[in-house]
Amino acid sequence: MSELVAVGNAGAAIRKANDEGRAGLVAYLPAGYPTIAGGVDAIKALVDGGADVIEIGLPYSDPVMDGVTIQRAAEIALAQGLRTRDVLSTVEQVASYSAVPVLVMTYWNPIERYGVDRFAADLAAAGGAGLITPDLIPEEGAEWIAAADKNDLDKVFLVSPSSTDDRIALTTANCRGFVYATAVMGVTGAREQASDLAAPLVARTKAATGIPVGVGLGVSNGDQAAGVAAYADAVIVGSAFVKALDAGGPAGVRELTESLAEGVRREPRTFANR
C-alpha cells in the first residue's frame, strides 16, 4: 500500500494541520446525546470551534473501555432508543455540514450485528471517513479491513504503552488515516496530568510508520493540548467535550474546542517522518 493511500481522509486533514506547523485536533462526542438532534448540534459545534477530524461515538451497552463520563452518555442515548441507523444519520448530517472528516468510533459487536459489509457501505454512503475500532486487532479484523478497503474508508487501530515493537509494526501496517496511540493504561477519561508514557510511545510508533500518530490520554484544556502537540501529530479529546456539553450545551462545546484549537497552535514546530 502506498503512503498516499495509507494516509486516507483523516490522515490528510492531520497532514494539512502539520503542514501549518501544528498538531491536528481530533474531537469526539457520542451520537444521540443528550438527544439525537441535540447530539448533531453538539458535534457541529466541534466543527465550528476548529476541530480537524471528528469522531462520532456509537453508544454500546457494554462500554468496558470507556470511563464513567462517556458510559453515562451512552446509557442515556441508548435509553432514548438510539439505533445504529441514527448514528449513520448523525454522520450524514455532520459530513454534509463541512469538509471535516467524520469517523465513527465503535466497539466491534454492533458492527457485526449490523453486518460488516453493509455497515461499511452505509457509512461510506453517509459521507463517513472510516472507523476507529478500540477492541478490534488487525489479526481478527480481516472482514473489516476488506470492507473498508472496498469502500475507501480509514481503518484506525490502537497501540498502547504495553505494545511490543512487533505489535506496533503489525498494527500500523494495517492502519489507514492515522494510528491511535492510547497513552494511558485503563479506561478513558479526562485527567489532571498527562502520562509520561505518551512521548516514548509516539516515538516508537513513528519509527514504524509514516502515517500520522494521534494521542489520546485524557486531555481536557488548552495547556494539556499544547503539551501533547509538542510531540504528537494529532491530539485526541473525548470526555472533556461530554463534560462541556453537560455544563454549557453546544456553546460550551464550541468554547472548549476553540481553547483546544489554540493549544495545538501555541508552539509551532516542524513535523518530520512525512
Closest alpha carbon to 78 in 62, 93, 102, 91? 62
| Maximum separation of any 2 CA atoms in the chain, in Å | 46
- Annotation marks residue 117 as catalytic: no
Tell me phi and psi for residue 164, to 5 degrees.
Answer: -75, 165
- Annotation marks residue 143 as catalytic: no
Gap between the Cα atoms of 49 and 264, Å rounded: 13
Residue written as grid cell 450485528 = 113
According to DSSP, residue 186 is labeled S
CA atoms within 13 A of residue 68's CA, in its CB half-sphere? 1
- Cβ–Cβ < 8 Å for 95, 103: no
Closest alpha carbon to 208 in 265, 140, 273, 154? 273
Given 20, 48, 55, 166, the catalytic residue:
55
Given 66, 86, 122, 154, the catalytic residue:
66
Is 247 exposed, middle or buried (CB count within 10 Å of its CB: 0-12, 13-18, 19+)?
exposed
Q: Which positions are annotated as active-site residues? A: 55, 66
